[in-house]
Structure 1
């Protein structure tokens, strides 16, 4: 792994903690009272085929990518690892990316063949592992992950634990709240052409989600994509629909082969910024 960067400004870290606490309280309230799903949604299979139509090279591309040995190996590794650490796990298991979101990250990373991927929210590093596996399969690209370590004993030691050592050469972990870390990171990446793929899985408050989307969308290359987990919690993902993307979809489905625990319902969004001149070519 590339050197970890960390913001150590004490007052700012207190603000991070306050923001994190408020966000967790908002999430708890959402879970307690429930909210009506704010978007029309599709199955993962339908959205995957839409991505194939927009970004894939030919019919059958999605099926081929989702059958790749590296993806299947990553699924086995993550599933075994999460079971192995269960006894001393400091996180909440629901903080781990679900199997459908993880596959979506892998698929998009393979179709887009990105040079730069940015994600917010790490915890175990499940989505990180799938993104890095796809980058390794591509033979190019790097991942920048932003994560605020939760105030739990042992959390720092388990942060990103799902990422195999063999994949860490393309990975830089930035510790801190996305509110502080994301703007300077995007400025530095702008000089290299911007971002190809952005994955949101950090604090799911409307303010945080809309803030991240507003920062990232202008820095996203044409044909780049945004993936956002748990979009059903508020109307933030709708802000990207108003930007007229080439594709805007919300997935609402249920796992069939989970990475952890029993099969669960999943909900996430995908938005693609314009069409790329070049479509997926596994040999390029």
Structure 2
């Protein structure tokens, strides 16, 4: 009996799990060794302790372009132009890198500029041209700068807009305090639900990226619902952890779609973008 016939014969017996164990062990060991190598490099090279930054894999970037294309009903070639636009914005990159290097908490941040899924935020803003964005959860202000960069491009094309960036930490948003990006950012320090309730203008695009508990995410979407402009878009940065936005979309008669990113050369499995529109 040749080797192939022998394996097939064993596969039909009680010995099958034992015979397959070495091959399964090798597959797991190879996977774990790759993760350990990537993790070890990150521990040495990076300073980040949360809100990790990384590049997307080429395939993940392609999927993000199609995701935005479907949501915004825009040709994927145009979306790719928007993605390339933010990635080639050298002025913004230089600002972020130098601001991080000079920050008080530079020991916990990387100077390398890596946007990951945030380039999708940029493309959505470029495509939809919102007059008023509300972002909850600012941290350093990387996402705020990306949103502001899109708004500045829109304004140059005759479609001005602003972003209200809300965070409870008074030290948040140091990247977003420099012109020209700060010129379209209203940095609000305070509780996000209370700040949303106090808004005095309609919201065209809302992005949840603050307290990632299900209960708090629900509170934010409930608070912003009455503030939304007709045709507003809701985004969540928490789509890989909760189904809150999908449930909210179903209750309010909206469509919902989710994208999960794949980081390149990073141990973190990545986050994603949830959209209701």
CA contact (8 A) 1:52 1:58 kept: yes
- CA shift at 1:70, angstroms? 7.3
How far did 1:272 drift? 3.5
Which residue is equivalent to 1:7?
A: none
CA distance 1:250–1:116, change in 2 (3 Å)? same
Q: Report deviation, 1:225.
A: 1.6
State the 1:212 CA deviation.
Answer: 0.7
**Highest relative contact order (Cα 8 Å, sep 6+), 1 or 2?**
1
Residue 266 of structure 2 corresponds to residue 268 of structure 1 = no
Structure 2 residues without counterparts, runs of 5 or longer: 1-58
1:106 corresponds to which of 106, 115, 122: 122
- Structure-2 change in CA distance of 1:82 and 1:160 (3 Å): same
Shift of 1:237: 2.6
Quote the residue 1:173 is aligned against.
187
Where does residue 84 of structure 2 map in the other structure? 67
Residue 254 of structure 1, CA deviation: 1.9
Normalization by structure 1: what TM-score?
A: 0.64
Query: Retained in 1: the 8 A contact 2:245–2:276?
Result: no
Query: What SS does the corresponding residue of 1:76 show, helix, strand or coil?
Result: helix
Q: Which residue among 234, 240, 245 is the counterpart of 2:242?
A: 234
Distance 2:203 2:102 in 1: 33
Tell me how many residue pairs correspond in the alignment.
212
Equivalent residue for 2:174?
161
Cα offset for 1:82?
6.6
Report if the CA contact (8 A) 1:251-1:266 is conserved.
no
Normalising by structure 2, we get a TM-score of 0.66
Using the TM superposition, give the Cα deviation of residue 75 of structure 1 relative to its aligned residue in structure 2, in angstroms.
5.9
Pairing partner for 1:117 from 128, 133, 155: 133
Q: Any idea what SS the aligned residue of 2:218 has?
A: helix
- Structure 1 unmatched ranges of 5 or more: 1-41, 150-154, 274-284
SS at structure 2 position matched to 1:232 = coil
Taking the aligned partners of 1:245 and 1:269, their CA distance within structure 2 comes to 16
The alignment's C-alpha RMSD in Å is 3.1
Matched, 1:244 2:253: yes
Which deviates the most, 171-180 or 57-66?
A: 57-66
Deviation, 1:84, is: 1.4
The CA deviation at 1:196 is 1.1
Go from structure 1 to structure 2 and tell me whether the alpha carbon gap of 1:70 and 1:64 turns closer, same or farther (over 3 Å shift): same
